[in-house]
Structure 1
Amino acid sequence: MAKRIFMSTGEVSGDLQGSYLVKALLAQNPDLEIVALGGERMAQAGAKLLANTAAIGSIGLVVEALPLVLPTLKIQRLAQQYLQAHPPDLVIYIDYMTPNINLGLYVRKHFKNIPTVFYIAPQEWVWRSNPTNTRRIIGISDLILAIFPVEAEYYKSYGANVEWVGHPLIDIVQPTGSPPDLRREQGVVPEEKVVLLMPASRTQELKYILPDLFRGARMLQERLPGLRFWLPLANPKFKETYIREAQTNNLNITYLPSCDYTALSAADLVVGKSGTVNLETALLKVPQLVLYRLSQATYLFLKYVVRFSIPFASPVNLVTMEPIVPEYLQEGTDAENIARESYDLLTNTARRETMLQGYDRICEHLGSPGVLRRAAAQILKLL
């Protein structure tokens, strides 16, 4: 009888990482049945989708999270009902901290003998703000598969059973086409510069980051009249807003149907929000500027009430805990800063070279190829 694995994740990034893991598991055991809370990428990879959680996720507190509470609770109840009716042979959690902790506590209470794995554990190793969450993550996990060495060290220090497998992007990130060919197809002549804009994967990012990003792009265009912008339109719910803002700022812009690794490689600079795309950009050796912004209410609460602070926001800088790429957060994401910093990254050869050298150091800390194969093997061994 085929073994059944239940996987739980949320948001666009979780769906992406989950899809890689689904493919790796099925490559080693095609008879597996994988049922998931995830997104379309996981479904395309071979998982049976119980509910779509790819659009459910926020960074922040009540202001950002409140609209997602009821959908999340509904999906949690659905997952619990499914688990009761169809107990799996193993459960995998991917990031998505609060929902996965709640689901994990439920699994521990009702299915004590089912092995559990946390793959890409929540970034408590960065925040270090709530030891209770760290202990809960460890308590619901028979095994944590870490993607960063510092992540593995952190959870081990709390007594967790941890294996460092490396970062899955090592296996994934490579252009599928020719970047020079793409530039020619888009009518970019050799002397022209291309800036790829990556404003959002969440609605809140669209609201807080996009206006200043596009105003900054307009100011940059005024300083470099021959500049070209590329903007991926992969997410249909953001499309109208993107186009309207681009037209308002009169940008010299080309819309791409998606943002693949060829497009990232073909750009001279990537400017966008903090997230997985930062590491992808680093692995492709393209200079970048990272932005992030929360609602003002959340920011003030974190700063003055919780006194919450992190060393860096971008995963690029977190790998070696050094400022390899510039980060502009909260008030720093204003248009003037974006334009000034982007101009310098496009024209300052020495600074670009320093950033590329930093990327080389990052690669040394992300592991060797075969990450997904190793992760799948560890999971199947536990199964």
Structure 2
Amino acid sequence: MVAGESSGDTLGADLVRSLKRRYPNARFVGIGGPKMIAEGFESWFPMEALSVMGFFEVIKHLPSLLKIRKNLIKRLIELQPNVFIGIDAPDFNFKVESVLKSKNITAIHYVGPSVWAWREKRLAKIKQAVDGVLVLFPFEPDYYHRYGIPVKFVGHPIANQFPEEPNTSVAKQRLGFSVDDSITAILPGSRMSEIERMSDVYIQAAKKLAIIYPAMQFAIPCVHQKALERVQQSINSFGKGLKIKLFLGQSRDVLEACDQALVTSGTATLECALMKKPLVLAIAVHPISYWLMKRLATTQWIGLPNILANKPLVTELIQENATADKIAFNMGRLVVDTQLRERQVDAFRHQYHQLKQNASELAADAIEEWMKK
């Protein structure tokens, strides 16, 4: 098994537990993190060596990454394992899987790449590399079936981290708000490029909202200190007089405490839906990135709640539409339109139950089946 980051380590640890129940004498080797190691996994290389993000960072570390991969493949071919499971980290794992499959070692990829969002034609190459793919979303298998790739939907493990129903009152008090306060969460993203681009616009939108709803308060979880300082800069410039609290981390607490949320795209939209909170999505990216994404996109939406619902459930304000005026208008509508709120929350409850599966057991079932083949 190879996991490249902490989310993969969590998936890997759960999967090791499930497979150990079926195969008590099994040996698990490769690259993993502390959670996998705690389950008896032998990590031949530190997982941190694979946790490299961004084009230039990858280029800088490329020689060491290639050396690790070469050594890993050599050791695995010598060992001849029953199965290899690459957990996410597609740039690293698909090459390993391809070589091992050519040596008649069952190769499985856990967490399908986002072919449903862009570059679906990658699946032609993926077919050559793997004996099966484990996917997290219920709409994904159709893409793999079109290319004749064995696939199994196992659910999204993140759903297990969210309550059946949020305890909004307790969460508000935990963050220092009153139970009766109207709280709008603003989730500005995890990448500094997103925060730089959107922070000023979000605060300008909050200022306009506060004119319509003077009692409204705002909560912003910031991924790290640098992000917090950049958001504070926007508040100093555009948000004087706003009732606003910044938090270092604590995005789950903020989501549970809020009544509605303004969210950048990505996993945050899914987390918001799993917490059953009405939301508006607003994002602008670099014009060249947007042009490329538009050309390569395979869905008409970018928010996961809309993709899961297969309809425009949540308002998406993209590029030139992501203005302070339009954000404030759509957030204001979300505050007062009871039917719109209920429609979103009902759909989010359905999505929660769709994604909350026993992922590691379903994955172990599929692995067992593909190994036997």
**1:51 and 2:48 aligned:** yes
Residue of 300, 320, 341 corresponding to 1:352: 341
- Report the residue type matching 2:291 in the other structure: L
Larger of the two Rg values belongs to structure: 2
Residue of 149, 157, 168 corresponding to 1:160: 149
What aligned pairs does 1:51-200 form with structure 2 within 5 A after superposition? 51-54=48-51, 56-57=53-54, 65=55, 67-71=56-60, 73-74=62-63, 76-84=65-73, 86-87=75-76, 89=81, 90-102=83-95, 104-105=97-98, 112-127=103-118, 129-131=119-121, 133-174=122-163, 178-200=167-189
- State the alpha-carbon separation in 1 of the partners of residues 313 and 251 from structure 2: 23
**1:362 and 2:331 aligned:** no
Secondary structure at the counterpart of residue 125 of structure 1: coil
- State the alpha-carbon separation in 2 of the partners of residues 97 and 68 from structure 1: 16
Corresponding residue number in structure 2 for 1:292: 283
Answer whether contact 2:3 2:47 (CA < 8 A) is retained: no
- State the alpha-carbon separation in 1 of the partners of residues 73 and 52 from structure 2: 25
C-alpha displacement of 1:263: 3.2
C-alpha displacement of 1:355: 1.2
Tell me the C-alpha RMSD between the 2 structures.
3.3
Answer whether contact 1:55 1:202 (CA < 8 A) is retained: no
C-alpha displacement of 1:52: 4.9
- State the alpha-carbon separation in 1 of the partners of residues 212 and 260 from structure 2: 15
Q: 1:53 to 1:318 in 2, by over 3 A?
A: farther
Corresponding residue number in structure 1 for 2:3: 7
Q: 1:156 to 1:71 in 2, by over 3 A?
A: farther
C-alpha displacement of 1:194: 0.8
What aligned pairs does 1:249-264 form with structure 2 within 5 A after superposition? 249-250=239-240, 251-259=242-250, 261-264=252-255
Corresponding residue number in structure 1 for 2:361: 373
Q: 1:125 to 1:297 in 2, by over 3 A?
A: closer
Corresponding residue number in structure 2 for 1:333: 322
Corresponding residue number in structure 2 for 1:279: 270
- State the alpha-carbon separation in 2 of the partners of residues 206 and 42 from structure 1: 33
- State the alpha-carbon separation in 1 of the partners of residues 166 and 27 from structure 2: 32
Secondary structure at the counterpart of residue 116 of structure 2: helix
- Report the residue type matching 2:208 in the other structure: M
Tell me the alpha carbon deviations over residues 208-235 of structure 1, each in whole angstroms, 9 at most, x when there is no partner: 3323222222222233222212122343
Corresponding residue number in structure 1 for 2:311: 322
C-alpha displacement of 1:262: 4.0
Q: TM-score, normalised by structure 2?
A: 0.81
C-alpha displacement of 1:100: 4.4
Secondary structure at the counterpart of residue 316 of structure 1: helix
- State the alpha-carbon separation in 2 of the partners of residues 45 and 277 from structure 1: 29
- Report the residue type matching 1:22 in the other structure: G
Q: 1:134 to 1:342 in 2, by over 3 A?
A: same
Matched positions, count: 357
Q: Can you give the 5+ residue segments of structure 1 that lack an aligned partner in the other structure?
A: 10-14, 58-64
- Report the residue type matching 2:284 in the other structure: R
C-alpha displacement of 1:8: 3.8
Residue of 188, 197, 202 corresponding to 1:208: 197
Q: Can you give the 5+ residue segments of structure 2 that lack an aligned partner in the other structure?
A: none
Secondary structure at the counterpart of residue 229 of structure 1: strand
Q: 1:232 to 1:308 in 2, by over 3 A?
A: closer
Q: 1:121 to 1:147 in 2, by over 3 A?
A: same
- Report the residue type matching 2:263 in the other structure: G
Secondary structure at the counterpart of residue 192 of structure 1: coil
Identity of matched residues, %: 23
Corresponding residue number in structure 2 for 1:62: none
Q: 1:285 to 1:36 in 2, by over 3 A?
A: same
What aligned pairs does 1:13-28 form with structure 2 within 5 A after superposition? 15-16=6-7, 18-28=8-18
